Structure 1
């Protein structure tokens, strides 16, 4: 019987906040500079390894979303595709033969177009860029290996996991299961700034290693919402039911796109720093049509079609989370061998046959108008009168919508989801 390698994919708290700023014009200039691809590549010293893996990561994100959608029913969805793909890419360092092929296929990487080394170098660069302490957006991602005292890892696997994925090896005693669970939960709680607490409640008795990937994000809106304008309004769950939500309001210029073919609005709300939230509002009755069309080409087309336009924007405050059994979702995507007794993870440890017994993932997001409720701020903004034609569209996110966080530095989608009910109690 194979020992169990307990793969824990843990995403972890996403907090979207904003701070009031006094000089938006300067920020516009900064944003233009930050978003310039020429400057961007020079600043990175022409190191574009992360660009090579971006298409595969995007493909994986949308494939995984469609699997989640099948089992989520009419519930909120929120997860980090980047967290999941990073954790399994790190595991692939120790996979061999068909187990390795299945993993790469599941992660949407084509080894005829890209070498294994390039995949790992791509994730290495993503981790470097995300964890840059000088970024205005607080975005950190990391990995840890909790290793049983009795398990002897192959030095190459340990070296590669440390070199490419900056993984932290932590010695654990899985014979003392309650203590090991406590140690792992404490690590997760610390790395996610208290957002994810007590995630693990049990371990398979045969567990000899737990792999953890965490990701934490805290962004400040470039154009904050005035919390004095937030008020209770109806959010339409379906044709017959609604819930009361705190609805935020803005009347400003945003990058927007109207996709007539898919019948939806796309609104980009930038964060300070080189990241943005992409909110997609399907017309009534067209959510499935838009979801079915979620492909990297679709999102790329939206991003390229965005145009600056003044709009009246209504967006609800919400705090939602999602918990997923990644093992069952991967098996539906054709990644089966790594979880079975046929698993070939012979590149991980000496003299021990391993398989993945469990893979779990939890993600959380908070979207609000500002970061602290302690101070009340009044902002009175004067704008010149103008005879605008046509009038600004009123885009009301008062029915189910999609959300993606796009990190423009790494060309990645750290988070994505569907908000069906902003007032739903978290799991």
Structure 2
């Protein structure tokens, strides 16, 4: 019987931002509002960009698995948190187990070597966490080990060097104390945003591996709180709820996708984060979910144009908590959860497997982001009334980092009044 351990994945997103992988060259080079890349990151950016297409494919494949599990509920997760944790796990995996993990993350191992993948994730973490981005994005990787388990020095050294891994000794034979230690750590690292991440720990657990992401961003153009009003949101044909609806009139990046019958509006955060708000026409959400791929995002990016709009967007808080072992198994990551697992690169012996993978994410969207922007700008409006775009039925929200072309978060908001 293999010894089991938990993997716990966490994303905390404050005020509507998530990381994800966009195709390269998504920027409009002539758009003065786009932030310029930091030239001294160019070497890191090259390493990161090797991961971009694969991380994007993983993000949207995983999205399709999540919505199959919870078809009529809010969805919110961080693909970069999941892929980072499993890339880190691949450091200690061997043979077929390692191959399945990396191929499950959509990497073609005939085109990219495992060392290149690890270097790319190392540089991605560094770039996403860089203070110059003006977006607070903290990625934390941690391992909690029973005292009896002696990990190989090479594994710990590599994981610390590549993933800034923090290691802690934990007494899993006392589940209550172990849960408190882990949950206190997670709550502190996510500024109180994620609480009670782990519960009902098995006393036989020997290791918990966690990847945590905390995001905090401010809208480039904040909404005025006095313009927020209660309006109707149409969950489905039978259900209507009241939500606080923010409102802003101005020029926005806009595109209508005729093939997918959806409206796309892009909002920037201060710094390098961007949100795509996607409103499908009535009855078209399922078509959008089933066909969404990275090339779709590229098409939207290429076709956005400035348009004067009267925009209504709900103020909401949602979270998602998922046991994702089954979803990952469907994507080809199988052996690591069974007695066929080979994680001998962690301890030197093969007596180890993953018993559970938990991912928890949360998102708050309000008028300011989290802090009011210091700048003031006046826009001159035409006298004619601009068209109104109102996000008053289920929609998607995708959050990207422009400096790394990464998909930070993917959300499907079915009912903004339900927080979890």
Q: Distance in 2 between matches of 1:120 and 1:230?
A: 45
Who is 1:9 aligned against? Answer: 9
Who is 2:77 aligned against? Answer: 79
User: Are 2:92 and 1:94 aligned?
Assistant: yes
DSSP-derived class of the 1:347 partner? helix
1:364-403 aligned within 5 A:
364-370=362-368, 383=380, 385=382, 392-403=386-397
Q: How much does 1:41 deviate? A: 6.1
Contact 1:4 1:204 in 2 (8 A): no
DSSP-derived class of the 1:122 partner? helix
Q: Distance in 1 between matches of 2:183 and 2:381?
A: 54
Compared CA separation, residues 239 and 287, structure 1 to 2 (3 A)? same
Contact 1:276 1:405 in 2 (8 A): yes
Who is 2:134 aligned against? Answer: 136
Contact 1:149 1:173 in 2 (8 A): yes
Q: How much does 1:170 deviate? A: 1.2
Q: Distance in 1 between matches of 2:377 and 2:244?
A: 21
1:22-421 aligned within 5 A:
32=32, 35-36=35-36, 40=37, 42-47=39-44, 48-351=46-349, 353-370=351-368, 383=380, 385=382, 392-421=386-415
How far does the alpha carbon of each residue in 1:292-326 deviate from its partner, in whole angstroms, 9 at most, with x for none?
Answer: 11101111111111111111111001100111111
- Structure 2 residue ranges without an equivalent (≥5): 18-28
How far does the alpha carbon of each residue in 1:234-272 deviate from its partner, in whole angstroms, 9 at most, with x for none?
Answer: 001112321000001111111111111111011100000
Q: Distance in 1 between matches of 2:405 and 2:116?
A: 16
Compared CA separation, residues 263 and 8, structure 1 to 2 (3 A)? same
Q: Distance in 2 between matches of 1:100 and 1:144?
A: 20
Contact 2:135 2:217 in 1 (8 A): yes
Compared CA separation, residues 124 and 33, structure 1 to 2 (3 A)? farther
- TM-score, normalising length: structure 1: 0.90
Q: How much does 1:153 deviate? A: 0.7
Between Structure 1 and Structure 2, how many residues are aligned? 406
Q: Distance in 1 between matches of 2:350 and 2:224?
A: 58
DSSP-derived class of the 1:266 partner? strand
DSSP-derived class of the 2:206 partner? strand
Q: Distance in 2 between matches of 1:202 and 1:265?
A: 43
How far does the alpha carbon of each residue in 1:111-145 deviate from its partner, in whole angstroms, 9 at most, with x for none?
Answer: 11111111111111111011112321111111001
DSSP-derived class of the 1:181 partner? helix
Compared CA separation, residues 297 and 382, structure 1 to 2 (3 A)? closer
- Structure 1 residue ranges without an equivalent (≥5): 18-28
DSSP-derived class of the 2:264 partner? strand
How far does the alpha carbon of each residue in 1:3-49 deviate from its partner, in whole angstroms, 9 at most, with x for none?
Answer: 112111122243349xxxxxxxxxxx9x837534xxx2623133311
Contact 2:4 2:353 in 1 (8 A): yes
